[in-house]
Amino acid sequence: MKHFPIFLAVAGRRIVLSGGGDAAMAKLRLLMKTEAHLTVIAAEVADDIRKWEAAGKLRVIPRAMAPGDALCAALFYAANEDNAEDARVSAIAHAEGALVNIVDNLADSQFITPAIVDRDPVTVAIGTEGAAPVLARAIKADLEERLPTSLGVLARIGKTFRHAVDVLPMGRKRRDFWSSFYFGAGPKAFAQHGATGVIPALETLLDERITARQTTGHVDLVGAGPGDPELLTLKARKALDKADVVIHDRLVTGDILELARREAIIIDAGKQGFGPAMQQSDIDALIVQHALDGHHVVRLKAGDPTVFGRLDEELAALDAHGIPYTIVPGITAASAAVAGIGQSLTQRGRNSSVRLITGHDTKGYADHDWTALARKGEVAAIYMGKKSARFIQGRLLMHGADPATPVTIVENVSRADQQIIATTLAELEPTLTQAKLQGPALTFYGLAPRAAQITAQSLKEFA
Active site amino acids: 249, 271
What single DSSP character describes residue 182? I
Q: How far is the CB of 220 from ligand SAH (least distance, A)?
A: 15
Q: How far is the CB of 321 from ligand SAH (least distance, A)?
A: 24
Cα 139 to Cα 115: distance, rounded to the nearest angstrom: 9
Q: Cβ closer to ligand SAH: 77 or 383?
A: 383
SS3 221: strand
Q: Tell me if 330 sits within 8 A of 223, measured CB to CB.
A: yes
Q: How far is the CB of 460 from ligand SAH (least distance, A)?
A: 31
Residue 316: which H helix or E strand, with range? helix 311-320
Minimal CA–CA distance to 77: which of 108, 50, 99?
99
Q: Using CB under 6 A, list all residues that contact ligand SAH.
A: 226-227, 251, 301-304, 307-309, 332-333, 383-384, 410, 412-413, 440-442
Chain centroid, CA 408 distance in Å? 30
Minimal CA–CA distance to 85: which of 71, 112, 105, 99?
105
Q: Is the peptide bond before 449 cis (omega within 30 degrees of 0)?
A: no
Cα 405 to Cα 453: distance, rounded to the nearest angstrom: 12
Q: Cβ closer to ligand SAH: 120 or 258?
A: 258
Q: How far is the CB of 267 from ligand SAH (least distance, A)?
A: 18
Q: How far is the CB of 388 from ligand SAH (least distance, A)?
A: 10
Q: Tell me if 361 sits within 8 A of 326, measured CB to CB.
A: no
Minimal CA–CA distance to 75: which of 16, 138, 20?
16
Nearest to ligand SAH by Cβ — which residue?
Answer: 303
Half-sphere exposure of residue 397: CA atoms within 13 angstroms, side-chain side: 14
Q: Cβ closer to ligand SAH: 304 or 378?
A: 304
Residue 117: which H helix or E strand, with range? strand 115-119
